């Protein structure tokens, strides 16, 4: 099955050759941001890869130490900027665990819906970007068309297209707007046909299959050893999804399949994502059906702004509390927590150490892209320069998340 | 007197050809961008002129006025020579290309070709092969690793593809008993060669794609891995030379496919002027080139070599043998 791309050297007298040091990136069309790879090339054959990261380092973790918990949400937006709602969710859940609270059910439904929309938006980009890296432009522009629909939906709910900052500790910022449910139903109806379009464009495309099938195979053992997560792990045949295995929010009430593929090659990783988009649509449909009425925010004036401002305007204590909350944030009890969710790219975890103040003493982000990027070289069988591009594309790293 | 008229006529034809070919990329780039746009659910150029018709002009002016940058470490002579070497051969080839039989202008019969060589096919292959020097020199002279890798790929690609391409047309030569392109078209008056030579056509067309360095064989300038390949360091009008060359070769390959396999200016069913038939067929193949570009990814370097040596070459050889046995 595996097409081994080992370099065959001619027997006999060796020519006097020298490796070429090629600097790929940080400005390069296929490095998905600002990844820099220093490659040692023997002709087209890659002998060694020396990745340099950090070109997009913004010190998110250090910055977080001087921000209140609510102020950190915009920072999490900028981790994996393709799917901010799930980053927000991961952080909110971590803080809620420290506080020992849980968001109301309606808020949980809304959050899950947003996170799944974000998953589709993230997967859409890679569905188009992998063929694009290999030279086929059209798939990307098709994907962008659908991504635009998701952007519109996000804008409708949150007011922002990219950096949504929609979650809050103990709920979401505001309730769903009127007409949203119809809009998202419409999207759920259209989108599966569009997925079919991408598959039709790529599935029988001989050149695409040649470039991705059997290329960059990562075995299940290697994938686990490296700590891969998300679709990259499931494409290697490991049946692991935090949404199902350690359910958070309302995922245990929902019916969805965990997509796995056995091949572990670039094509499997691509297919895994395409199929996951279908499952996400199913999840969204269920959320829309079951969406309960109720508050979208926890009723704790010390943590969340009250929905009904009447009291704030009339009662001195409520006003003070409101002022306190917006000026100083809320205190989080001493302790530490690690909490992870299944973000589009894999396991997105937040480790928070609290000293009892309104700001985290230390925050550490377990960014899935950072871990997944390790699989670029060494474990897979890809050794040609052009294969490196395919593997990089199929691993789907977002450099903002890698560099933090 | 006759000699002067004949020479004047040739000079006029050559001038016309050069003018047309130089201007050809203007409508072609517009077409390509429009086709791409409509295939990809967008409009393509819309701002400059009606539906972006003047966009190529704007691009041309932009390229003309750009800084002519030569990298400090480049071999200046070769760097300047390479775009010309890439541009000239495709133009020269058109001398041997017939666009039709004759047209009568002011009572005089004028042939629609500059020269009817009896070795036209050989001439075409000999001259078009020179184009690769432009690409190799360009990549080498720029003293950039991306450019070098791009031109190395081109070397390998050209050798792998021009051989099967050459073999693929031998079947056509056997059928027509001539190497003159005019004779080859005349021989197809009743039935096009595609009927007898489907394998030959397939090999020729695939090799032609590689010759024109279009997707799925555009490895020399694979933007996904090599930035822009051999012309990474070129800017302004020198870059435009490479682009013009690419488009002219694309047309040339389409023209050759039509002449060799699709009956040249011979029409079917609908009586149209022969020249129009010819241009329509060429336009179809040019469209096919563009269609491919927006459908396929590109092959990997070693896969491309494999196709050249292990698929196309045996196929073209088998084609020669079969044609030889059947028509001897």
Return the closest-CA partner of residue A107 out of A172, A169, A49. A172
Q: What is the DSSP letter of B311?
A: I
Q: Which of B218, B224, B291, B298 to mutate to test the interface with A (most CBs of A within 10 A)?
A: B224
Q: Looking at the domain assignment, is residue B60 inside a domain? A: no
**Partner-chain contact B222 A386, CB within 8 Å:** yes
**Partner-chain contact B297 A20, CB within 8 Å:** no
User: Tokens 């041309």, residue?
Assistant: B60
**Is the pLDDT assigned to residue A299 strictly greater than 60?**
yes
pLDDT at A1: 38
A265 at the B interface (CB within 8 A)?
no
Residue % of chain A over a pLDDT of 70:
96
Q: Looking at the domain assignment, is residue B162 inside a domain? A: yes
Contacts with B39 from chain A: Cβ below 8 Å: 138
* Per-chain mean pLDDT for chain B: 84
Separation of alpha carbons A238 and A310, rounded Å: 53
Q: Looking at the domain assignment, is residue B23 inside a domain? A: no
**Is the pLDDT assigned to residue A351 strictly greater than 90?**
yes
Separation of alpha carbons A144 and B132, rounded Å: 37
**Residues B1-40 pLDDT 10s:** 778 888 888 888 888 888 888 888 888 888 888 888 888 8
pLDDT interval class at A15 (50, 70, 90): low
**Is the pLDDT assigned to residue B150 strictly greater than 50?**
yes
Separation in Å, CA of A164 to nearest CA in chain B: 27
pLDDT at A14: 65
pLDDT at A13: 63
Q: Which of A128, A136, A265 to mutate to test the interface with B (most CBs of B within 10 A)?
A: A136
The arithmetic mean of pLDDT across residues A356-365, rounded, is 90
**Residues A115-134 pLDDT 10s:** 999 999 999 988 888 888 88
Return the closest-CA partner of residue B160 out of B296, B297, B292, B306. B306
**Partner-chain contact A137 B216, CB within 8 Å:** no
**Is the pLDDT assigned to residue A389 strictly greater than 90?**
no
Separation in Å, CA of A214 to nearest CA in chain B: 13
pLDDT at A8: 58
pLDDT at A361: 92
Q: Looking at the domain assignment, is residue B61 inside a domain? A: no
A139 contacts A155 by C-beta, under 8 angstroms: no
The phi, psi pair for A45, rounded to 5°, reads -95, 125
The arithmetic mean of pLDDT across residues A161-184, rounded, is 88
**Is the pLDDT assigned to residue A17 strictly greater than 80?**
no
ipTM for the complex?
A: 0.79
pLDDT at B224: 66
**Partner-chain contact A136 B295, CB within 8 Å:** yes
Separation of alpha carbons B196 and B175, rounded Å: 9
**Residues A55-82 pLDDT 10s:** 889 889 999 999 999 889 999 988 888 8
Please give the residue that has the higher pLDDT: either A46 or A25.
A46
CB pairs under 8 A between A and B: 85
pLDDT at B194: 84
For B77, the domain range is 70-100+115-327
Contacts with A138 from chain B: Cβ below 8 Å: 39-40, 294-295
**Cα B138-B142-B147 angle, rounded to 5 deg:** 70
Which of B215, B224, B294 is opposite residue A29, by nearest beta carbon?
Answer: B224
B231 contacts B239 by C-beta, under 8 angstroms: yes
Contacts with A145 from chain B: Cβ below 8 Å: 41
Separation of alpha carbons A5 and A382, rounded Å: 7
pLDDT at A93: 92
Domain count, chain B: 1
Q: Which of A26, A43, A137, A209 to mutate to test the interface with B (most CBs of B within 10 A)?
A: A137
Q: Looking at the domain assignment, is residue B38 inside a domain? A: no
**Residues A263-291 pLDDT 10s:** 888 899 999 999 999 999 999 999 998 88
**Cα B292-B297-B303 angle, rounded to 5 deg:** 110
Contacts 24+ apart (CB under 8 A), B1-4: none
Separation in Å, CA of B241 to nearest CA in chain A: 23
**Is the pLDDT assigned to residue A142 strictly greater than 70?**
yes
The arithmetic mean of pLDDT across residues B160-172, rounded, is 87
The arithmetic mean of pLDDT across residues A377-393, rounded, is 80
Contacts with B301 from chain A: Cβ below 8 Å: 44, 384, 386
Contacts with A18 from chain B: Cβ below 8 Å: none
Q: Is the peptide bond before B216 cis (omega within 30 degrees of 0)?
A: yes
pLDDT at A7: 56
Q: Looking at the domain assignment, is residue B266 inside a domain? A: yes
Contacts with A389 from chain B: Cβ below 8 Å: 224-225
The arithmetic mean of pLDDT across residues B62-67, rounded, is 87
**Residues A92-105 pLDDT 10s:** 999 999 988 988 99
B298 at the A interface (CB within 8 A)?
yes
Q: Looking at the domain assignment, is residue B233 inside a domain? A: yes
Q: Is the peptide bond before A26 cis (omega within 30 degrees of 0)?
A: yes
* Per-chain mean pLDDT for chain A: 86
**Cα B239-B245-B249 angle, rounded to 5 deg:** 150
pLDDT at B6: 82
Q: How far is CA B73 from CA A252, B140, B150, B231, B234, in A?
A: 63, 11, 18, 15, 13
Q: Looking at the domain assignment, is residue B41 inside a domain? A: no
pLDDT at B9: 83
A135 at the B interface (CB within 8 A)?
yes
**Partner-chain contact A142 B40, CB within 8 Å:** yes
Separation in Å, CA of B298 to nearest CA in chain A: 5
**Is the pLDDT assigned to residue A245 strictly greater than 90?**
no
pLDDT at B210: 84
**Partner-chain contact B298 A28, CB within 8 Å:** no
pLDDT interval class at A2 (50, 70, 90): very low
Contacts 24+ apart (CB under 8 A), A222-225: A222/A375, A222/A379, A223/A264, A223/A375, A223/A379
Separation of alpha carbons B114 and A268, rounded Å: 55
């Amino acid at each position: 099955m595996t097409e081994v791309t080992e370099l065959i050297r001619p027997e006999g007298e060796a020519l006097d050759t020298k490796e070429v040091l090629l600097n790929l990136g940080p400005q390069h069309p296929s490095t998905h941001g600002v990844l820099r790879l220093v490659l040692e090339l023997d002709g087209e054959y890659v002998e060694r890869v020396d990745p340099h990261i950090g070109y997009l380092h913004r010190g998110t973790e250090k910055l977080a130490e001087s921000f209140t918990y609510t102020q950190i949400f915009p920072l999490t937006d900028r981790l994996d900027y393709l799917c901010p709602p799930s980053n927000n969710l991961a952080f909110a859940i971590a803080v809620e665990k420290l506080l020992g609270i849980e968001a109301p059910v309606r808020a949980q439904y809304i959050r899950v819906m947003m996170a799944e929309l974000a998953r589709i938006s993230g997967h859409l980009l890679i569905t188009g970007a992998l063929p694009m890296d290999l030279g086929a432009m059209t798939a990307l522009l098709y994907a962008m068309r659908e991504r635009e629909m998701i952007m519109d939906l996000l804008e409708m709910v949150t007011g922002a297209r990219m950096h949504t900052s929609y979650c809050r500790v103990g709920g979401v910022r505001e309730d769903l707007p009127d007409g949203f449910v119809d809009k998202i139903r419409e999207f759920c109806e259209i989108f599966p046909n569009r997925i079919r379009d991408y598959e039709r464009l790529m599935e029988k495309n001989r050149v695409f299959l040649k470039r991705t099938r059997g290329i960059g195979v990562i075995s299940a053992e290697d994938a686990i050893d490296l700590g891969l997560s998300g679709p990259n792990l499931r494409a290697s045949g490991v049946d692991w999804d935090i949404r199902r295995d350690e359910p958070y929010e309302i995922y245990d009430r929902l019916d969805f399949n965990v997509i796995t593929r056995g091949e572990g090659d670039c094509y499997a990783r691509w297919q895994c994502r395409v199929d996951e988009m279908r499952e996400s649509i199913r999840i969204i449909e269920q959320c829309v059906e079951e969406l309960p009425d109720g508050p979208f925010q926890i009723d704790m004036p010390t943590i969340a702004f009250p929905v009904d401002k009447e009291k704030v305007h009339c009662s001195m204590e409520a006003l003070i509390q409101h002022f306190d909350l917006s000026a100083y944030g809320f205190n989080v009890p001493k302790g530490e927590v690690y909490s992870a969710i299944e973000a589009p790219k894999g396991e997105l975890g937040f480790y928070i150490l609290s000293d009892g103040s309104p700001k985290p003493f230390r925050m550490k982000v377990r960014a899935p892209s950072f871990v997944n990027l390790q699989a670029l070289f060494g474990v897979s069988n890809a050794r040609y320069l052009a294969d490196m591009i395919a593997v990089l594309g199929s691993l789907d790293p977002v450099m903002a998340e890698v560099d933090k | 007197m006759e000699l002067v008229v004949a020479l004047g006529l040739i000079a006029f034809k050559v001038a016309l050809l050069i003018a047309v070919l130089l201007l050809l990329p203007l409508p072609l780039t517009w077409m390509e961008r429009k086709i791409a746009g409509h295939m990809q659910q967008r409009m393509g150029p819309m701002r400059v002129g009606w539906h972006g018709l003047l966009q190529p002009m704007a691009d041309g002016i932009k390229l003309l006025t750009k800084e002519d940058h030569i990298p400090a470490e480049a071999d200046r002579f070769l760097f300047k020579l390479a775009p010309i070497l890439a541009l000239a051969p495709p133009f020269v080839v058109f001398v041997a290309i017939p666009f039709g039989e004759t047209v009568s202008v002011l009572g005089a019969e004028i042939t629609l070709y500059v020269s009817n060589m009896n070795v036209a096919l050989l001439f075409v292959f000999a001259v078009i092969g020179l184009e690769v020097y432009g690409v190799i020199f360009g990549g080498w002279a720029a003293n950039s690793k991306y450019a070098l890798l791009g031109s190395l790929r081109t070397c390998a690609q050209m050798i792998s593809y021009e051989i099967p391409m050459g073999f693929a047309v031998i079947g056509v030569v056997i059928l027509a008993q001539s190497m003159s392109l005019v004779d080859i078209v005349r021989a197809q008056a009743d039935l096009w060669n595609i009927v007898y030579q489907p394998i030959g056509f397939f090999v020729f067309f695939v090799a032609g794609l590689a010759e024109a360095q279009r997707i799925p064989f555009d490895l020399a300038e694979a933007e996904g891995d090599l930035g822009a390949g051999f012309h990474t360091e070129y800017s302004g009008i020198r870059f435009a030379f490479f682009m013009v060359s690419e488009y002219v070769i694309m047309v040339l390959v389409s023209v050759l496919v039509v002449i060799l396999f699709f009956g040249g200016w011979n029409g079917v069913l609908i009586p149209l002027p022969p020249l129009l038939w010819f241009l329509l067929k060429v336009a179809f193949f040019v469209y096919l080139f563009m269609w491919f570009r927006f459908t396929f990814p590109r092959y990997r370097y070693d896969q491309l070599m494999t196709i050249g040596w292990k698929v196309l070459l045996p196929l073209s050889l088998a084609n020669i043998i079969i044609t030889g046995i059947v028509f001897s």
